[in-house]
Amino acid sequence: MIGSHGFWGPVRIAKKMHKMTLPAIALFACIYSFAILFAGVTVWFALRTLPLDSFREIAMIASFLICFVFYMILAQRVLIGMRPLPFGEIEQRTHTEFTYFVHTLFFLFIFNPLIETSLVPIPLRKVLYVLLGAQIGKNSFPSGVLTDPAFVKMGKNSIVGLQALVVPHVIEGDRLAFYPIEIGNNVTIRAQSMIMAGAQIKDGAIIGAQALITKGTVVGENEIWVGTPARMVGKRGGQTQTSSGCP
């Protein structure tokens, strides 16, 4: 169930956009500082006995960065565990909005730069997404960007192609909301496609390259969808082909 207003939101008088608050920035800054402190202390105690040479410096820097990211992931999971972000609309000046702001700062400053700049190799992205709350089945690999992993569920043997975007949030003017995205088993989402909030991609479906699956769209089992906005052009095993002759 999506709610009485659906994915496109209620009809209402326009208000100002959600605005980042100083308390949210201050909390994130404190978490960031403590993560730096804990990472430094951890590395010092773990590696202080290494001989003084260039290898020690490299090992300490690499270990510090890994520990820092680990502590930031841990802090983000603790925050969301204590103050979960619910499905649906987020109203202004609420505790949920505050949690969303802190959640967003984690991704803007830490997680998105890791993913979007390919600092995390594709084989390890699945591990990072799972640590951030995504549910990803066996032998499935998200090579693209899951902007809010905790709202994404992937089945088994599915692929999200390179530079594809899976976006469970809605930001439209003063509107802010989260709706989960479900990707079934044996699904192929090809490169540079975009899956928007609330979409459901059923088992065996194929989403063509650069396709746009709009909010709340349900792609049926074994269906092939292409285009912007995407539309069904056939089913796997059928005769429908693209202009290049490939199904």
Q: 205-230 pLDDT, tens per residue?
A: 999 999 999 999 999 999 999 999 99
When divided into structural domains, the chain yields a total of 1
Is the pLDDT reported for residue 5 higher than 80?
no
Continuous H helices in 48-191: 54-82, 95-106, 112-116, 122-131
Would 11 be classed as within a structural domain?
A: no
Q: Is the separation of the CB atoms in 214 and 195 below 8 Å?
A: no
Would 15 be classed as within a structural domain?
A: no
Would 119 be classed as within a structural domain?
A: yes
Q: 148-207 pLDDT, tens per residue?
A: 999 999 999 999 999 999 999 999 888 899 999 999 999 999 999 999 999 999 999 999
Would 4 be classed as within a structural domain?
A: no
CATH code, domain carrying 209: 2.160.10.10
Would 8 be classed as within a structural domain?
A: no
Would 85 be classed as within a structural domain?
A: yes
Would 145 be classed as within a structural domain?
A: yes
Would 82 be classed as within a structural domain?
A: yes
Specify burial of residue 98 (Cβ count, 10 A radius: 0-12, 13-18, 19+).
Answer: middle
* Structural domain harbouring 45: 22-234
Q: 151-163 pLDDT, tens per residue?
A: 999 999 999 999 9
